[in-house]
Structure 1
Amino acid sequence: MRTLLLFVVLAIAPIAAAWRLSAVIDWRWITGIAALLSAISASLYAVDKRRARTAARRIPESTLHLSALVGGWPGALLAQRLVRHKTRKASFQVVFWCIVAAHQLVAVDCAAGWAAARWLAAFVRD
Structure 2
Amino acid sequence: MTDSRGELLKPEQARQLVELAEQARRSLSQFAGQPVQFNASGLQLLDEWIERTPFPSKPLQVLWVAFTGEVFRRRHSGEWAVYRDDGQRLVVLCPTERGDLHPVEVARQVSRRIANGIADSLALFYVQESVLLHEREDIA
Bigger Cα Rg: 1
Considering fraction of residues, name the structure with more helix.
Answer: 1
RCO comparison, higher one (Cα < 8 Å, 6+) = 1
Considering fraction of residues, name the structure with more strand.
Answer: 2
